[in-house]
Amino acid sequence: MIKELKKRINTSLLLFIFIYICIFVNIYISLASLILISFLGWIEFTQLVKKIYFKKKKLLYNFIILISISYFSLLIFICFDLINNNQLFFVYILSICIASDLGGYIFGKTFKGKKLTKISPNKTITGCVGSFILSLLPFIIFYFISTNLYLFSLSILENIILCLYLSLICQLGDLFISYFKRLARVKDTGKILPGHGGILDRIDGIIFAIPSLSIVIKLFS
């Protein structure tokens, strides 16, 4: 467990540093990085769908591929728009998503407990709680290094709600991709990231959290 946790933390840190550099170096590098990561994630998703539906339900396969192309394209646009408007806020969002993922893994492996759902046998209720708890860590860090009482123009309560909301969407996104992995009878979407599997294994929660947050922002702004 310790060895696997180190892999996940190291991978998360490397990804975070890579994304951080891409975001702040140049806006066009940010766009290129978003396109690359989204494309790799989309490729892995299409491989899952192909294993499930290509032979028996080709019409459904083509429909899902078409929807996924539209969704990942929209994802790139939303992420780029957020980066263009507030780079640090985008990093903050990513930090919450990553912390939520690590919290689920750490608490789930440490305390184990009752299974959360049959969709993903490794997910536990304690892991779910851990995701919510650790998702608050970025807020605590950002809040104490900020000189502004209202972090990103949000009150303490609003920031806490934001963290918990993103954690919830990340967990639902994780379960959504886990459902497809279960149907395809595979453990990981790929092998490119040590401790995580594929790109999609790493961003499965993020690709749902960021668009859903963007919708909330549009509705309440």
Q: For 134-184, what is each residue's pLDDT tens digit?
A: 999 999 999 888 766 678 888 899 999 999 999 999 999 999 999 999 999
For residues 39-67, one letter each, b for 16 or more C-beta atoms within 10 angstroms of the residue's C-beta and e for the rest, the string is: ebbbebbbbbbeebbeeeeeeebeebbee
The pLDDT score that the predictor gives to residue 114 is 82
User: What tokens were used for 75?
Assistant: 């994802």
Which residue bears the tokens 């294994």? 201
The pLDDT score that the predictor gives to residue 196 is 64
Max CA pair span of the chain: 58
The pLDDT score that the predictor gives to residue 97 is 93
Which residue bears the tokens 């951080």? 20
* Residue 90 burial (CB count, 10 A): 21
User: What tokens were used for 43?
Assistant: 């490729």
β-partners of residue 151 are 154
User: What tokens were used for 46?
Assistant: 């299409």
CA distance 53 to 18: 35
Reading the chain (221 residues) residue by residue, the pLDDT tens digits are 566 666 666 776 777 677 777 777 788 888 888 899 999 999 999 999 999 988 888 899 999 999 999 999 999 999 999 988 888 899 899 999 989 988 988 888 888 778 877 777 778 889 899 999 999 999 999 988 876 667 888 889 999 999 999 999 999 999 999 999 999 988 888 887 765 678 898 888 999 999 999 988 888 76
Angle between helices 27-53 and 156-184 (to 10 degrees): 40
The pLDDT score that the predictor gives to residue 197 is 78
CA distance 153 to 172: 27
